[in-house]
Structure 1
């Protein structure tokens, strides 16, 4: 369903900041926009010809918003388009963008409430829906995952989280959602801000693990470890 620009954690720079996209013709849907993302978008020519740009932000850590300003500036000045940003905390994202010099006329903000389903109908991407869910990550800023419906399929995207809610687990078990994109790490310790592979194994039984696509990987885990436990690893678009 998703293509990935990068799949690394904040400190795993070799894999790039985790970010995903869907592109159809002149419409681009981008999930998160960390410090390495604008460079990769340019490198892959993904912004060429874009007339409709949608950006979903899960939280405001640098590896998720570090080049958001550049993407907005490029869209506004070069593409002559105003992107739409989806984020539940309107005041936080407006304050962040103002602090880096992005003025309000350069973007449209859809500050959808958590648990509220927003429906979008794009001529190229078709109809898609977003439902933001609060996740447990850090105490200093709010963080969100979301469930998206797109092309008659649905998925959950964790952003950054140290757990998976019972609600999401039940939805994957019942078939209500088709797959989960989950950030995981190799380190396992009390108070970890991310979900360890060990903890993920304790949450999901083997028969459901083929529906899980692991992302935001640190340097303490290998693709082989992930796959040996029955999970998938996202592949980076080239």
Structure 2
């Protein structure tokens, strides 16, 4: 299982920017690094004595990369090692980081759609990035991660779940789904409404779906009532 630092949407600051992590001994894998994330990492002492940091980025909206520069700076200057950033659009990521003063010698960048690595603490991990439907202005990705504890799909910000992911869940190829879910429900929404999620996921599969990136308009009790989970 992954642990969450925050579970809120961009404007639901009370819940913090949605970000998750896996920490084992002195290795850390971080999923997204929005504006509130570095503060929470320091507040919770998650970065203490870390020797290896791997960062998966789903897209470049501020609530997902707002403190990415701080995490890289802290890793490079304080922890004295280069973190590895995973993002399929390498040119976009390099351009973004350069624009905020992060030079390329401070980090390693992996920009393949399918990546794999072995860490002495985290074990063998593979990540398969999949384009998702979010906004037209920037590319956005979900991903399937395979690790020793199992396989899961993480949507990032998305208003749709591809049939391929649903099929994998039905076939037992996925243990669980982490899905961007909101209360607002209107045509053209860049996030998935709870109504749409209910229409997409059959009741028999809802126990394997964990809702995240919650906006101010959704009631966590209603999520649970519909058979889904709320990430904690």
Residue matched to 1:194: 191
Q: Quote the Cα distance in structure 2 between the aligned partners of 1:212 and 1:18.
A: 16
* 1:20-31 alignment runs, 5 A limit: 20-31=20-31
3-state SS of paired residue (1:102): coil
3-state SS of paired residue (2:59): coil
Q: Quote the Cα distance in structure 1 between the aligned partners of 2:214 and 2:116.
A: 31
Corresponding position: 1:124 with 2:121: yes
Q: Quote the Cα distance in structure 2 between the aligned partners of 1:180 and 1:150.
A: 14
What is the CA distance between 1:152 and its match in structure 2? Answer: 4.3
* 1:59-70 alignment runs, 5 A limit: 59-70=59-70
Q: Deviations over 1:157-209 (max 9, x none)?
A: 00000000000000011100100000100011100000000000000110000
Residue matched to 1:41: 41
Residue matched to 2:148: 151
3-state SS of paired residue (1:40): helix
Q: Quote the Cα distance in structure 2 between the aligned partners of 1:140 and 1:8.
A: 22
What is the CA distance between 1:150 and its match in structure 2? Answer: 1.0
Q: Deviations over 1:90-143 (max 9, x none)?
A: 000000000000000000000113xxx322100000011000000000000000
Q: Quote the Cα distance in structure 2 between the aligned partners of 1:207 and 1:125.
A: 32
3-state SS of paired residue (2:170): helix
Q: Quote the Cα distance in structure 1 between the aligned partners of 2:102 and 2:11.
A: 27
Counterpart selection for 2:137 from 136, 140, 143: 140
* 1:51-200 alignment runs, 5 A limit: 51-113=51-113, 117-200=114-197
Unaligned runs of 5+ in 1: none
Q: Quote the Cα distance in structure 1 between the aligned partners of 2:72 and 2:16.
A: 20
Corresponding position: 1:213 with 2:210: yes
Q: Quote the Cα distance in structure 1 between the aligned partners of 2:8 and 2:180.
A: 9
Unaligned runs of 5+ in 2: none
Q: Quote the Cα distance in structure 1 between the aligned partners of 2:162 and 2:226.
A: 20
Q: Quote the Cα distance in structure 2 between the aligned partners of 1:162 and 1:204.
A: 13
**TM-score by structure 2 length?**
0.99
Residue matched to 2:220: 223
What is the CA distance between 1:151 and its match in structure 2? Answer: 1.2
Q: Quote the Cα distance in structure 2 between the aligned partners of 1:10 and 1:119.
A: 30
